């Protein structure tokens, strides 16, 4: 279930910190990704296993029932010793693979956290857009009711009363659509939190607000190159390739087999060639003929994989730098756009609308001018909210690219 705060009016309000905590604990994709870490650790444990010894038991009957040639029992124990550090190389590969999986999990959460935050910002945007629509509708509905009275008193023509009523009805439809958009955004937040029932909160806490923050591009790049999880994963992948090459070289070294055995032969009671019972002991060494070492396919493949991982690492480094620069440029542009609205556009649009409504109520201007001022104000308000969202999303992308995170309520 959703972790919501209950407001004084009884509404369930989902706060950002609670939302992000729910995503960290219950997001289904993240939970599935965590299993890769468990699998890698289990594989590391499996890599530590040593060869099993082999026990052999044999029984022989030399026609003892009719020729009385006796019976024999053999027991042997053999073990293959891996030479060339094969076991250590396997452990090294598995350990590096586990470290790579940890880095990949961290990178997965880095992306998930940013995507979830942008989804939360989207819900905030829809919530604020809905508030603008609702406010415009209430104001237009009040104006329509006033026009109905003015029409009844003969102060305005029929067309003005009908026009204001029509505009109020149109705005009502916009309000209904904005409510649906908000509910859909809240359902998406439920999905990110792993809520199988998709029971959405009534609203989200907070508002989109512009807070000027200056970033140093060079410092961001340095931080990304040092801390980005995907770059660390690329480095771990290079280490995995190095360990795989070491394992390929170790596999070319021959192994050594040792065996010991004991044989118990029972008494031979044949009249022609009788023999007493005896016990024999034997030991042996098995040296494989390593003809497969002439095939260097595995070794060459490991060498090429090592070179490929090195190239991939350099590619990721270049991509990280590019991501930071592009995110920084987008953030700066989004900041300037919001500052343009804060420089007076919103105040001018509000002032013009209030003046037009006041003049219309006094009969000094036409309804058409009021409606144009209303549409202008709505457009400016919606564009301002969009600009705030774009700025907030650009900051999230910048912090995602730079490998930093200081976003909170």
* pLDDT higher than 50, residue 388: yes
Mean pLDDT of the 96-113 span: 92
Residue 356: pLDDT band (50, 70, 90) is: confident
Mean pLDDT of the 13-41 span: 92
* pLDDT higher than 80, residue 80: yes
Domains of the chain, by residue range, sit at 5-49+82-254+290-402, 50-81+255-289
Higher pLDDT among residues 363 and 323, named by residue: 323
Q: Does residue 241 contact residue 308 with C-beta atoms inside 8 Å?
A: yes
Q: What pLDDT score does 13 carry? A: 86
* pLDDT higher than 70, residue 9: no
Q: Does residue 393 contact residue 115 with C-beta atoms inside 8 Å?
A: no
* CA angle, 123 then 127 then 131, to 5°: 170
Q: What pLDDT score does 121 carry? A: 95
Can you list the pairs that 283-288 forms with residues at least 24 positions away whose Cβ atoms lie under 8 Å?
283/258, 283/259, 284/258, 284/259, 284/260, 285/256, 285/257, 285/258, 285/259, 286/78, 286/80, 286/256, 286/257, 286/258, 286/259, 287/254, 287/256, 287/257, 288/254, 288/255, 288/257
Q: What pLDDT score does 296 carry? A: 84
Q: How far apart are CA 175 and CA 144, in angstroms?
A: 17
Mean pLDDT of the 167-191 span: 90
Q: What pLDDT score does 349 carry? A: 79
The arrangement of strands across the sheet holding 54-61 comes to: 54-61, 71-81, 256-265, 278-286
CATH number of 5-49+82-254+290-402: 1.20.1600.10
* pLDDT higher than 70, residue 1: no
* pLDDT higher than 90, residue 329: yes
């Amino acid at each position: 279930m959703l972790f919501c705060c209950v407001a004084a009016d009884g509404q369930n309000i989902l706060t950002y910190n609670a939302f992000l905590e729910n995503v960290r604990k219950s997001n289904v994709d993240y939970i599935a990704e965590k299993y890769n870490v468990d699998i890698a650790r289990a594989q590391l444990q499996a890599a530590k296993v040593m060869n099993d010894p082999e026990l052999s038991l044999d029984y022989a009957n030399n026609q003892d029932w009719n020729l009385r040639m006796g019976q024999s029992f053999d027991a042997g124990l053999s073990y293959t010793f891996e030479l060339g550090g094969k076991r250590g190389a396997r452990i090294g590969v598995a350990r590096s693979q586990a470290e790579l999986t940890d880095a990949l999990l961290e990178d997965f959460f880095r992306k998930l956290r940013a995507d979830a935050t942008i989804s939360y910002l989207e819900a905030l945007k829809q919530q604020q857009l809905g508030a603008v629509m609702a406010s415009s509708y209430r104001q237009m509905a009040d104006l329509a009711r006033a026009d109905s009275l003015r029409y009844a008193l003969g102060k305005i023509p029929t067309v003005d009363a009908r026009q204001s009523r029509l505009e109020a009805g149109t705005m009502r439809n916009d309000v209904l659509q904005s409510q649906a958009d908000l509910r859909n955004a809240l359902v998406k937040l439920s999905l990110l939190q792993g809520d199988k029932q998709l029971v959405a909160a009534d609203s989200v806490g907070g508002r989109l607000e512009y807070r000027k923050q200056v970033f140093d591009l060079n410092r961001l790049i340095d931080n990304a190159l040092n801390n980005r999880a995907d770059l660390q994963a690329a480095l771990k992948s290079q280490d995995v390739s190095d360990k795989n090459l070491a394992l390929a070289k170790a596999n070319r070294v021959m192994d050594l087999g040792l065996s010991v055995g004991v044989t118990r032969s029972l008494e031979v009671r044949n009249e022609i060639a009788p023999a007493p019972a005896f016990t024999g002991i034997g030991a042996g060494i098995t040296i494989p003929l390593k003809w497969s070492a002439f095939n260097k396919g595995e070794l060459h493949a490991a060498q090429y994989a090592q070179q490929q991982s090195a190239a991939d690492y350099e590619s990721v480094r270049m991509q990280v730098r590019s991501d930071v620069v592009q995110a920084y440029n987008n953030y700066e542009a989004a900041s300037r756009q919001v500052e343009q609205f804060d420089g007076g556009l919103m105040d001018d649009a509000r002032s013009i609308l209030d003046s037009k409504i006041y003049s219309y109520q006094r009969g000094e201007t036409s309804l058409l001018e009021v409606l144009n001022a209303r549409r202008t104000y709505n457009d400016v308000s919606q564009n301002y909210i969009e600009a705030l969202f774009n700025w907030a999303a650009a900051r999230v992308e910048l912090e995602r690219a730079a490998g930093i995170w200081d976003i909170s309520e």
